[in-house]
Structure 1
Amino acid sequence: MSEGTMQRRAQRDQRDQRAKRLHRVLVCAAAVPVMLVAAGCSSDSGSDDGKDKAADKAAASKSASPSPTVQAAAYKKLPEPCAVLSKKTLGDLVPKGADSGKEGSSSDTATRGSCSWSSLDNNGVKGSQFRWLNVALLRFESDVTRGEGDKLAREYYTKQLQDAQTADGAKSVKTVPLTGTGDEAANVRYDLKKKEGTFKQNTVVARVENVVVTLDYNGAGLAGDKTPDADDLAKAAQKAAEEAVAAVAKANGAGTGGSASSGTPSASKGASGSSADSSDDSSAGASKRPTKSVSKS
């Protein structure tokens, strides 16, 4: 074989080798996008699965969360407001008006109610004795937003006491805590001078569980008759308030002690309906006691 022939064969072998290498490079280059696409699809699929699993887990956790609850109110109803006091008590407090109880208007008698009596004992030229009595009842339901019924009643109880203590024109204001009258009670006593005479005012506020009782009782000697004894009026007002509280407990199946623990079924956990509005004083009926604040003497 000549030298020229051998040189041409070597050149041909080199070309063949270069062609094979180029072919392998092209095949690998074509395979790379396919692998990238496959890897990308696999990555996206895993990402979606993770999101779906997280969403399912969050939904399951939310559905498993318990609904908010609040302790149910102990008392579910109110007694007839004009029947909370006995005939004897009415005869002592309003002797000339024991049978003339006037029930106040109410859009929901299970939540609020009131009754008032007035008495004028005319003694002719010796003057006359005037007495006025009002009993107001306000019941609070437990509410998941506002809280338990007895808590709402305590707030209203405090507000009623403050209103009585700052009554317009009140003189010699004195607040006396009371025992044996519901869960908490106090009598706000003061003098109120009017052109007809000096009125001795008593406002007894008592709370029993989720119900607040506000009893107003005042008296005056008119047309020259003597002013009634303040202590006697205060004792009579407290006695009447005790009866009113006992009537609330009795209406709900409890004993006369005024506590839900003696006869009322235990309150169960659960959400309940709407509550009485503690800012609405319409349940007090046409109360004759003033409510604007003044300085005390």
Structure 2
Amino acid sequence: MHRSASRLTRVLACAAVPVILTVAGCSSDSGKGSGSDGGKKSESSSSGQPSAKPSATLEKAAYATLPDPCKAVQTATIDTLVPEAKDKNGTASKSNDLASRASCSWNGLDEDGLKGSQYRWLAIYFSRHDSQASLGSANKRAEEQYTKQVEAAKATEGAQNLKAEEAGGIGDQGTSVVYSVKKDVDSFNTTIVARTQNVVVTLDYNGAAYEGAGAPDQAKLLQDAIAAAKEAVASVDAANKQPDQAQSPQPAQ
């Protein structure tokens, strides 16, 4: 038994030798590579490797600011869309970043005695997007927001007879969504979503009739909304062509 155990030990030891030699051989070759020839090969191999590709540069946002939302459409347009508006200057929403998000709304009740009253409500929303490495280019982000706004309009709760279609001639992309909402009275709603470069413009225009007045003409509401949306989109380009007075140095008091 002692002899067999000794012999088994010698066999296992011999079987392990090739493995050790193989590792040693690798170490030996590595050691030789540290010489002049090995150094040249190493340098050659290193220099032959392709360098890392630089990260792609995102395009610069076309628009750096937003227009005053309450001046995005002409006063004459407000008179047409919202007769007897409570405040023709509009009501601006509060925002912590007016360079990225801004909106304004108008509403008014046009009373006509025994013929009843017509109510109108108009709101314009702007959202501006910058290029960010983690989120994509400014235009790509605006396209995503544009799609979200269209889908949100189409998903309006209680919407009836909804119709969405492309609205050409309004920026780079445009969609109109019209529908009616049955509450105390028939209300006709129109939403225009448009994208111009890295800015998304969403315009909501609604009309309702009270006290026996005839229902609003839905086709006329759409026509007026599209005209106002075109003005709002044009105001974005105009705002970015004007010098930024807000950043101009102010005279000492």
Secondary structure at the counterpart of residue 160 of structure 1? helix
2:154 equivalent to 1:162: no
Give the superposition deviation at 1:225.
Answer: 1.3
Q: Measured at CA, do residues 76 and 54 of structure 1 come closer, stay the same or move farther in structure 2, by a change above 3 Å? A: farther
Task: Please give the residue correspondences for 1:28-43 in structure 2 after superposition, counting only pairs within 5 Å.
Answer: 43=31
Matched with 1:129 is: 118
State whether residues 129 and 225 of structure 1, in contact with CA within 8 Å, keep that contact through their aligned partners in structure 2. Answer: yes
- Unaligned segments of structure 1, at least 5 residues: 1-39, 255-297
Task: Please give the residue correspondences for 1:114-263 in structure 2 after superposition, counting only pairs within 5 Å.
Answer: 114-195=103-184, 197-253=185-241
Secondary structure at the counterpart of residue 99 of structure 1? coil
TM-score, with length taken from structure 2: 0.75
Matched with 2:14 is: none
- Unaligned segments of structure 2, at least 5 residues: 1-27, 243-253
Give the superposition deviation at 1:220.
Answer: 0.6
Matched with 1:76 is: 64
Q: Measured at CA, do residues 66 and 229 of structure 1 come closer, stay the same or move farther in structure 2, by a change above 3 Å? A: same
How many pairs are equivalent?
Answer: 214
Identity %: 43
Which deviates more, 98-107 or 135-144? 98-107
TM-score, with length taken from structure 1: 0.64
Give the superposition deviation at 1:127.
Answer: 2.0
Find the aligned partners of 1:122 and 1:94 in 2 and give their Cα distance.
12
**Greater than 6 Å deviation, 4+ residue runs:** 61-64
Matched with 1:279 is: none
Give the superposition deviation at 1:175.
Answer: 1.2
CA RMSD in angstroms comes to 3.0
Give the superposition deviation at 1:86.
Answer: 0.2
Which deviates more, 92-101 or 115-124? 92-101
Matched with 2:97 is: 108
Secondary structure at the counterpart of residue 123 of structure 2? strand
Give the superposition deviation at 1:160.
Answer: 0.9
Return the index of the structure with the highest Cα Rg: 1
Find the aligned partners of 1:136 and 1:74 in 2 and give their Cα distance.
19
Find the aligned partners of 1:43 and 1:148 in 2 and give their Cα distance.
51
Find the aligned partners of 1:198 and 1:183 in 2 and give their Cα distance.
33
